[in-house]
């Protein structure tokens, strides 16, 4: 992120700081004929899911070995299903109910009946895999297909996928770091991409006419190598554990300049996540577009969600022509349904370990740790 377009984040950070449910068989049992006494009670009903589309039915009858009949309610009324005989006051059988459907049955013995309803959970779909691993499901049940994957399992940056950033600075006009292509700032080791912010022993040249500085940062992007319009974008990231100010990390998308004119912010920017060491418990997505004219709008173009520094967090964007949704560790964090033209074009993927930015509350001081590192376990993109 360059200084020329860096928004102020102090008020944003200050304002933002201020269940897994398992599928199971659902059973409802109701008696249609009240029992007058022990000898005339309706059969009891106990249900257990036997398979994806079979329910096991058992119960107790009033007499030792009566016939037990089952009917199912259909569009034409009650339809006979089967007949069995109880043994020593007990019966046991199975009934077919397709996965994901509900059926209503009647069981009868000794001229007494009981109805019960069975709702079978939807069948669990087999997991399918591609280059990105297990394929996630879309809202319509279809599968995402991998279009870009880097597990950073080698010993060097794959330059067929990534270009190190060298044209931006990060920080403020008073204190800034230059992005550079150097192993001290960008390297792959131990199965992760390391983007490092370091302090040199002496000032070194900086691009774009900036004066020499002893602070150097690391960043990479898929500039002119990969871009995509719409899809699912995900990265697993760990940043430096600190509460000291000064650090700023980002996983973000930027319009592919081969296909669109950059006139920021109306041209668009999708910050899947930004993290600031001055807000060590927050992950902050931000969608930049024409809405920037009204500033920060919680729940529209930005939000703050729980994510601790110094541990692995997974950040995901699902993007269509009419909807953008960011998830932090699988939990929805921000939804935008503007359908703005800024989000209807191809974007590249960018990862940066930065500093600052223009905010005194997050500018580095004597307590800021150097070096600082943004580690990336993987980047997956689907469509």
The CATH number of the domain holding residue 75 is: 2.60.40.10
Average pLDDT over residues 357-373: 87
Q: Do 275 and 191 lie in a common domain?
A: yes
57 plus 85 within the same structural domain = yes
Q: Does residue 183 share a domain with residue 89?
A: no
Rg of the chain over CA atoms, in angstroms?
Answer: 30
Residue 215 falls inside a structural domain: yes
- Alpha carbons 247 and 275: distance in angstroms, whole number: 8
Whether 134 is covered by a domain: the verdict is yes
Tell me the mean pLDDT in the region 50-70: 95
In a domain, 173, yes or no: yes
pLDDT in tens, 325-336: 999 999 999 999
> Omega before 357 cis (within 30°)?
yes
Is residue 21, in this structure, part of any structural domain at all? no
Strand partners, 316: 234, 327
CA distance 333 to 331: 6
Residues 256 and 142 in one domain: yes
**Residue 4 contacts by C-beta under 8 Å, 6 or more apart in sequence?**
none
CB atoms within 10 A of CB 229: 15
Average pLDDT on 45-71 reads 95
Distinct helix (H) and strand (E) counts, the chain: 1, 27
Task: Read off the CATH number of the domain in which 328 is found.
Answer: 2.60.120.200
Domain boundary among 119, 139, 164: 119
Mean of per-residue pLDDT scores for the chain: 90
pLDDT category at 217 given cuts 50, 70, 90 is very high
**In total, how many domains does the chain have?**
2
Burial of 104 (0-12, 13-18, 19+ CB in 10 A): middle
Confidence of residue 7 (pLDDT cuts 50, 70, 90): very low
Cα–Cα distance between 201 and 121 in angstroms, integer? 63
Domain limits for position 265: 127-382
Is 162 found in the same domain as 104? Answer: no
Q: Within this chain, do residues 197 and 243 fall inside the same structural domain, yes or no?
A: yes
152 shares its domain with 258:
yes
Would the pLDDT of 26 be above 70? no
Kindly indicate the confidence band of residue 351, based on its pLDDT and cuts at 50, 70 and 90. very high
pLDDT value at 21 more than 70: no
Whether residues 42 and 171 share a domain: the answer is no
Position 273 in a domain? yes
Residue 5: pLDDT over 70: no
Whether 41 and 167 map to the same domain: the answer is no
CA–CA dist 250, 220 (Å, integer)? 11
pLDDT recorded at residue 141: 86
SS3 158: coil
Residue 13 domain flag:
no
Specify whether the CB–CB gap between 72 and 79 falls below 8 A.
yes
The answer to whether position 331 is within a domain reads yes
Tens digit of each residue's pLDDT (9 = 90 or more) over 87-124 = 999 999 999 999 999 999 999 999 999 999 999 998 88
CA-wise closest residue to 368 among 355, 378, 359, 382: 355
Structure tokens belonging to residue 240:
């430096």
Residue ending a domain, choose from 98, 119, 140: 119
The residue among 89, 119, 149 that closes a domain is 119
Q: What are the residue ranges of helices labelled H in the chain? A: 10-17
In a 10 Å sphere around its CB, with 0-12 CB exposed, 13-18 middle and 19+ buried, how is residue 343 labelled? buried
**DSSP 8-state class, residue 298:** B
226 and 343 in a common domain: yes
> Any residues with CB less than 8 A from the CB of 180 and at least 6 apart, and which?
164, 166, 204, 216, 217, 218
Q: Model confidence over 139-179: pLDDT tens digits?
A: 888 999 999 999 999 999 999 999 999 999 999 888 999 99
Does 149 lie in the same domain as 115?
no
Residue 1's pLDDT is 47
| Residue 11 domain flag | no
164 and 81 in a common domain: no
């Amino acid at each position: 992120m360059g200084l020329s377009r860096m928004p102020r984040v102090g008020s944003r950070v200050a304002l933002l700081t201020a269940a897994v449910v398992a599928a199971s068989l659902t059973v409802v049992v109701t008696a249609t004929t009240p029992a007058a006494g022990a000898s005339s009670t309706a059969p009891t009903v106990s249900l257990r899911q036997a398979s994806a589309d079979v329910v096991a039915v058992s119960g107790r009858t009033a007499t030792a070995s009566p016939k037990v009949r089952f009917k199912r309610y259909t569009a034409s009324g009650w339809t006979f299903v089967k007949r069995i005989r109880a043994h020593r006051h007990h019966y046991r059988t199975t009934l077919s109910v397709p996965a994901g459907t509900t059926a209503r049955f009647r069981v009868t013995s000794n001229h007494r009946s009981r109805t019960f309803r069975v709702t079978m959970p939807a069948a669990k779909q087999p997991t399918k895999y591609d280059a990105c691993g297990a394929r996630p499901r879309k809202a319509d049940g279809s599968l995402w297909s991998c279009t870009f994957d880097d597990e950073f399992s080698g010993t060097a940056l794959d330059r067929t996928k990534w270009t190190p950033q060298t044209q931006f600075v990060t920080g403020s006009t008073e204190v800034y770091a230059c992005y550079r292509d150097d192993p001290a700032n960008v390297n792959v080791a131990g199965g992760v991409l390391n983007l490092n912010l370091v302090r040199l022993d002496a000032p070194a040249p900086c691009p774009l006419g900036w004066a020499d500085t002893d602070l150097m940062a690391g960043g990479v992007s898929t500039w002119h190598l990969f871009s995509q319009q719409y899809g699912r974008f995900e990265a697993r990231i760990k940043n430096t554990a600190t509460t000291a100010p000064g650090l700023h990390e980002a996983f973000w998308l930027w319009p592919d300049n081969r296909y669109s004119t950059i006139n920021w912010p109306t041209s668009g920017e999708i910050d899947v996540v930004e993290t600031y060491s001055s807000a060590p418990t927050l992950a902050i997505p931000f969608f930049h577009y024409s809405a920037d004219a009204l500033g920060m709008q919680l729940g529209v173009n930005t939000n703050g969600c729980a994510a601790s520094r110094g541990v692995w967090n997974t950040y995901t964007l699902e993007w269509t022509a009419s909807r953008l949704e960011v998830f932090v560790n699988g939990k929805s964090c921000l939804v935008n349904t503007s359908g703005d033209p800024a989000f209807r074009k191809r974007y590249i993927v960018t990862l940066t370990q930065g500093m600052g930015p223009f905010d005194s509350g997050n500018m580095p001081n004597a307590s800021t740790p150097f070096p600082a590192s943004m580690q990336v376990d993987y980047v997956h993109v689907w469509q």
